[in-house]
Structure 1
Amino acid sequence: MKKEASPDIHEVHEVGEIEEVQYDVPEIHLSAAAELDSTEPFQVYYHYAAIQRAREDALPKSPFSSLFDKYRKKKPEPEERSDESHSSSEGTFSPDCEKTVLDQIPGAKTELAVANMSLRTATWMSVFFLTTTDILGPSASPWAISQLGWFPGVMLFSVLGGAAVYTGWLIYRMFLKLDSPEFPMKTFGDLALRVYGKGFRWGVDVLQSLQLLCNVAVIILSNGQGLSQIYSPLCFSVWCIIFMLAGILLGQIRGLSNFSYIANAAIWMNLFVVFSTMGIAGTKPPNYVGGAKQNGLPNSTDPVRTRAIENVPFQTQLNAVMNIVYSYGGAMVFVEFLSEMRKPREFLKGMLSAQGVIFVCYLLYGLLVYAYQGQYTMNPANQGLGSYNWQTAVNVVSLVSALIGAGLYGNVGVKVVYITLLRRAMPFLPNLEIGLKGRITWGLMVFLFWALAFVLASAIPQFSALTSLVGAACILQFSYTFPPLMYMGLTIREEASKLDIVDMETRKVTKYDSWKTLARWKRGVLSRPWWVLVNFTLFLCSAATGILGIYSSVYSLVQAFDAPGAATVAFGCKSPVA
């Protein structure tokens, strides 16, 4: 569809900064299927994104936002503000107040802008709840530390946590620069498309779909193990099917903002599991048989011991590192969270709060369980409790919490697979969010997604090796490899294009010089050399770690299937744990 621009929009003088902008925004309607791979000059994305950020900044502030104002550049307040809007900025947010404030910005109430704002209902608290819902991070941290030892475990948790905060900030910055109602970003693939084009976007979409599918498969596997511990006479694969059916029912919830309510409950369940496991591990003996079986120990009669640095094979240590990566695997869905936020600038509050809770709780949990269970520490940790009664109680709570986490992954996974892959190939498919056809299609997609995850989980019933493979091949890339690579590319394009001429009326860019010339590359790279160097170095380190992690996890899977008497028969009834 042809898109018409407004001649009343002035030049964007700097990235993210606007001067004397006339907010006469054109109504541009994009088809999700037909326009999925369409691109515009990135200056156009910047232009409309700057206008959208100005709209959002004019809305009343959320409570406690003043605590974070001093850490970012202050935006000019509107010259005139009604008493109603002023009073609302000090307290609660109301629709009448929003209407009054938006009236002060010409063009902010166009059909497209209003529709965009009405669809975005999530707050920074929703981001906090959704990010900390993940069950895999805390459950894997004790086993990861048990394979590394005290010193490497603490060091890697801290380094990976700091890097995750940095890369999350990079995603946040790119979203603010590139998202607008005219050109909305819904998935990580949209971000990849606008930085490096269609080919990179295809790779990101396929990898994201695979990660979300594998996340659900891992959760099915872990809770199939937990259910088999609760009632062992029933076939292990049957327990996995039961958990799959429960996930299909929960997956009928379509909006992420609705998930935030039950995600709130999941956080408290996770904390209950964490603190209960720590308390029981400190007062009861570990699950000697299960720990020896899972970790390949020769016998289950040796006393518990811990070490500053564990003496285990390098491949096993890499598997442990990949399990730590699971703790900081939320970056993959950060764009989805941002796309549903009414005020994306507040994303940092939710992310920083969530990462802080994750770091403190997960690390303390891992250290304490390892201190009491040593080499018998299991993955997930709550299944390593020696007391059957307590093991059952914690498994039940963990089961419900994990179901919510799997529902979140399944929700995002269905959207990513359907929108970015299926509708791209078959544009005639209905919109998931509209009408009866959308509801029926959503239900069918949820069933197929969970069924495929069950097949994957039952085919590879080796929990630690599977989680490390997913962490190395998928989570590591979205959390640590892709963000610095994309921000580096965007920075180079920003600096190299400063001499280009942009015609916003026709959305055409006249380049001052070509990428085939050395001058353009020098201008792009050397304008901010340290910024480019830091991101490029982080990209190389993450890519190398990912390659090593894939090798070690595949090696461990082969060993697990070859081991005599190992309970790793695909679709078998024998549980992988005792």
Structure 2
Amino acid sequence: MKFFQSRRDKKQWESQYEDEKQKYNDSLNREDVSPAREGVLVGEQEQAANIFSEGGKNYRTMGRWDTALVLASNQVGLGILSLPKILDVLGIVPSVITIIGFGVVSWYTAYELLQFYRRHPHVVNMVDMARVVGGVPFEIIFGICLLIKICFTCGSATITISIALNTLSNHGMCTVGFAGIAAIACWLLCLPRKFKFVAQVGLPSTISIIAAVLIVIISLGVSPPQNAPPGFDKNLKVVGNPSFSDGVNAVLKVCYAYAGNVGFVSYMAEMKNPGKDFVPALTVLQVFSVVLYVVIAVAIYCLSGQYTTSPALGSAPTIPAKVAYGIVLPAILSTGLVFGHTAIKYLYVVAMRAMKSTDQLTDRSFKSWGTWIACATLFWIVSFVIANAIPIFDSILSIASATFIAWFTFGISGVFWYHRNWQERFHRKNIPLAIINALLIAQALFMNGVGLWAAITQLIDIFNDKENKVGGVFPCADNSLF
């Protein structure tokens, strides 16, 4: 694929990016700061400029609670539906430790993104950060990986919606058709261009997924789980004894539950005051997420035992499960919205930079709207193809975690820390953090190699299983859980 048709195109690309950076520097140095602007500059220089605060409309409108809602929509979604099943693999104690441990590490890595943003406030996404670290080559590689990673996440949302629609309709249509309906619905939701819109759906999304899992928990308290015989004996595992491959896949699913970091920088770029408001919003998110993940995973597993399914809603008896799938649809659509919006916003910025039109980025012109809609359409077509190429919920989660989430949530923050502190990495006060960030990079490399092997092995085994209903790529077969 040719990213630049000529050296001249490449130079224009670099010039556009440097112009944006220079605007930021100029905004710090100029003396004629307006009173409205001055209040933002004092104590928070990262607010001085970025491309979302210029042009036709100011996109930097999100406050602390708006951000908390966007973060909740970003993180509390599909991942939670796979957590109860991992307790049947790892056991209750190791699973709870893993969920809490990943939550703490995820908070730290997100905080490192904020520290890097403070140093380079002209960036508007993680790919811009990659450019700061490694120039254009690193930017291109990182940008491609970001798009593929988010396509996997949105593909998993498409699969989950197809499962829900098959469950609700008793397989009333070819599964590919349901996946197409899901992709079109998410595409429509992604058409508004501001993250402020995403924040507005955050609360309904969170309520819907909590309500759905509560229905499952209550129904399991009065009736046996799906496919369990009356009076069945639960086989609960305090400490599991999984195979190496099964253990790695279980850990990858926990990793997926903390996959939100990829969008955090994009949210900072549309916040009014990220230096002040992002950490409180992040802390609310992680405390809420960890508590919710542990309580729901333990409750559903202790009620379902060895009959726990993934997605977890299928553990409930038939009618409550259908009700839960209907109620959870807003949360699944929200996952497609928030991740899809992040990828589309990145594509949009790239396209507008390539056309040297960043001054029109926030305009309501034909060019800006046409570019946005084209980016959204391209993205959701690719996500639809990926969803049908890997139509297994657990497998697409594991493969996404092993290939990209390992870096976007954990490893890349370690790289950014070393970039910020390279000259002082062996300073006595920095040695503990240097070790921690080296371990984050090592963890990402381990998950890339061993995790990808385990995820692909699991997918091949599922396709080869004669009892597997899906059968292969672009399936028409029923993928409901009962």
Fold agreement, TM-score > 0.5? yes
TM-score by length of 2: 0.86
Separation in 2, partners of 1:110, 1:243: 40
The residue correspondences of 1:476-495 to structure 2 (distance < 5 A) are 476-493=406-423, 495=424
CA deviation vs aligned residue, 1:543-564 (integer Å, no higher than 9, x gap): 2133221111011011111112
Identify the residue that residue 175 of structure 2 maps to in structure 1.
236
Identify the residue that residue 249 of structure 1 maps to in structure 2.
188
The residue correspondences of 1:80-91 to structure 2 (distance < 5 A) are none
Q: In the alignment, which of 464, 467, 480 is matched to residue 565 of structure 1?
A: 467
Amino acid at match of 2:97: M
Q: Is the 8 A contact 1:108 1:114 kept in 2?
A: no
Separation in 1, partners of 2:70, 2:25: 30
Identify the residue that residue 168 of structure 1 maps to in structure 2.
110
Q: In the alignment, which of 61, 66, 80 is matched to residue 121 of structure 1?
A: 61
Taking a change above 3 Å as real, the CA distance of residues 428 and 124 of structure 1, as seen in their structure-2 partners, is closer
The residue correspondences of 1:11-90 to structure 2 (distance < 5 A) are 33-35=13-15, 38=18
CA deviation vs aligned residue, 1:9-48 (integer Å, no higher than 9, x gap): xxxxxxxxxxxxxxxxxxxxxx99454665999xx99978
Amino acid at match of 1:359: V
1:437 to 2:367 alignment: yes
Identify the residue that residue 306 of structure 1 maps to in structure 2.
236
Separation in 2, partners of 1:454, 1:109: 37
Taking a change above 3 Å as real, the CA distance of residues 215 and 104 of structure 1, as seen in their structure-2 partners, is closer
Q: In the alignment, which of 357, 360, 377 is matched to residue 308 of structure 2?
A: 377
CA deviation vs aligned residue, 1:209-240 (integer Å, no higher than 9, x gap): 11111111000001101110111242222211
1:272 to 2:211 alignment: yes
1:575 to 2:478 alignment: yes
Separation in 1, partners of 2:158, 2:455: 19
Identify the residue that residue 132 of structure 1 maps to in structure 2.
72
Q: Is the 8 A contact 1:214 1:453 kept in 2?
A: yes
Taking a change above 3 Å as real, the CA distance of residues 470 and 329 of structure 1, as seen in their structure-2 partners, is same
The residue correspondences of 1:316-327 to structure 2 (distance < 5 A) are 316-327=246-257
Taking a change above 3 Å as real, the CA distance of residues 490 and 572 of structure 1, as seen in their structure-2 partners, is same
Amino acid at match of 1:358: S
Q: 1:325 deviation in Å? A: 0.9
Give the 3-state SS of the residue equivalent to 2:201 in structure 1. helix
The residue correspondences of 1:548-563 to structure 2 (distance < 5 A) are 548-563=450-465
Taking a change above 3 Å as real, the CA distance of residues 538 and 429 of structure 1, as seen in their structure-2 partners, is closer
Q: Is the 8 A contact 1:481 1:542 kept in 2?
A: yes
Q: Is the 8 A contact 1:137 1:323 kept in 2?
A: yes
Separation in 2, partners of 1:279, 1:46: 54
The residue correspondences of 1:425-504 to structure 2 (distance < 5 A) are 433-434=362-363, 435-493=365-423, 495=424
Separation in 2, partners of 1:437, 1:491: 41
Amino acid at match of 2:309: M
Separation in 2, partners of 1:262, 1:561: 36
Taking a change above 3 Å as real, the CA distance of residues 114 and 563 of structure 1, as seen in their structure-2 partners, is closer
1:156 to 2:73 alignment: no
Taking a change above 3 Å as real, the CA distance of residues 560 and 415 of structure 1, as seen in their structure-2 partners, is same
Taking a change above 3 Å as real, the CA distance of residues 465 and 32 of structure 1, as seen in their structure-2 partners, is farther
Question: 5+ unaligned residues in a row in structure 2: which ranges?
Answer: 1-10
CA deviation vs aligned residue, 1:35-64 (integer Å, no higher than 9, x gap): 4665999xx999789889xx9xxxxxxxxx
Q: Is the 8 A contact 2:27 2:48 kept in 1?
A: no
Q: Is the 8 A contact 1:102 1:108 kept in 2?
A: no
Q: In the alignment, which of 281, 292, 299 is matched to residue 368 of structure 1?
A: 299
Q: 1:255 deviation in Å? A: 0.6
Identify the residue that residue 150 of structure 2 maps to in structure 1.
212
1:348 to 2:279 alignment: yes
1:143 to 2:99 alignment: no
Identify the residue that residue 322 of structure 2 maps to in structure 1.
392
Larger Rg: 1
Q: In the alignment, which of 200, 221, 240 is matched to residue 282 of structure 1?
A: 221
Taking a change above 3 Å as real, the CA distance of residues 538 and 101 of structure 1, as seen in their structure-2 partners, is closer
Separation in 1, partners of 2:85, 2:285: 22
Identify the residue that residue 263 of structure 1 maps to in structure 2.
202
Q: Is the 8 A contact 2:59 2:194 kept in 1?
A: no
Separation in 2, partners of 1:567, 1:405: 26
Q: Is the 8 A contact 1:142 1:365 kept in 2?
A: yes
- How many residues were matched structurally? 459
Q: 1:424 deviation in Å? A: 6.7
CA deviation vs aligned residue, 1:245-265 (integer Å, no higher than 9, x gap): 211221211110121111221
Q: Is the 8 A contact 1:319 1:468 kept in 2?
A: yes
CA deviation vs aligned residue, 1:178-220 (integer Å, no higher than 9, x gap): 11xxxx2111011121123332222221111111111110000
Separation in 1, partners of 2:96, 2:26: 44
Instruction: Name the structure where helix makes up a greater proportion of residues.
Output: 2
CA deviation vs aligned residue, 1:337-396 (integer Å, no higher than 9, x gap): 11111101210010000011000001110011010112221111112212x221111111
Q: Is the 8 A contact 2:28 2:48 kept in 1?
A: no
Identify the residue that residue 7 of structure 2 maps to in structure 1.
none
The residue correspondences of 1:515-554 to structure 2 (distance < 5 A) are 525-526=426-427, 528-554=430-456
Deviates more, 1:239-248 or 1:162-171: 239-248
Separation in 1, partners of 2:50, 2:242: 58
Identify the residue that residue 137 of structure 2 maps to in structure 1.
199
Taking a change above 3 Å as real, the CA distance of residues 120 and 37 of structure 1, as seen in their structure-2 partners, is closer
1:177 to 2:119 alignment: yes
Q: 1:113 deviation in Å? A: 10
Amino acid at match of 2:458: S
Q: 1:572 deviation in Å? A: 2.0
Give the 3-state SS of the residue equivalent to 1:306 in structure 2. coil
Amino acid at match of 1:557: L
Identify the residue that residue 25 of structure 1 maps to in structure 2.
none
1:339 to 2:269 alignment: yes
CA deviation vs aligned residue, 1:300-352 (integer Å, no higher than 9, x gap): 99743111122332212211111111221111111001111110121001000
Sequence identity of aligned pairs in percent? 19
